[in-house]
Amino acid sequence: MDIKTTILAIIEDLTGEDVSGTMDLNLYDEGLLDSMATVQMLVEIDGQLGITVPVSEYDRSEWGTPQQIINQVTALA
């Protein structure tokens, strides 16, 4: 699986929503992600992709949409 497909699958597993058609949807503003789901998402990214996201690098304003998450993880890969 590539990063985009994996990230979208992780988000869908965590939120129950297919966000592939709304890549600019703010997941926090919509109430789809909260702090607990964020931690779960980061654990899944590490487990499934082997990419560790340093907590110090995580800023909701840069990780709020599916596209931003994909961009950030790609930059860390």
pLDDT at residue 54 in the model = 85
26-70, pLDDT tens digit by residue? 999 999 999 999 999 999 999 999 999 988 878 889 999 999 999
What domains are defined for the chain?
Answer: 3-15+24-76 (1.10.1200.10)
- Using an 8 Å Cβ cutoff, are 45 and 7 in contact? yes
Q: How far apart are CA 18 and CA 62, in angstroms?
A: 20
What one-character DSSP code corresponds to residue 68?
A: H
The closest alpha carbon to 33, from 47, 55, 16, 51, belongs to 16
Tokens 């931003």 sit at which residue? Answer: 68
State the pTM of this model. Answer: 0.91
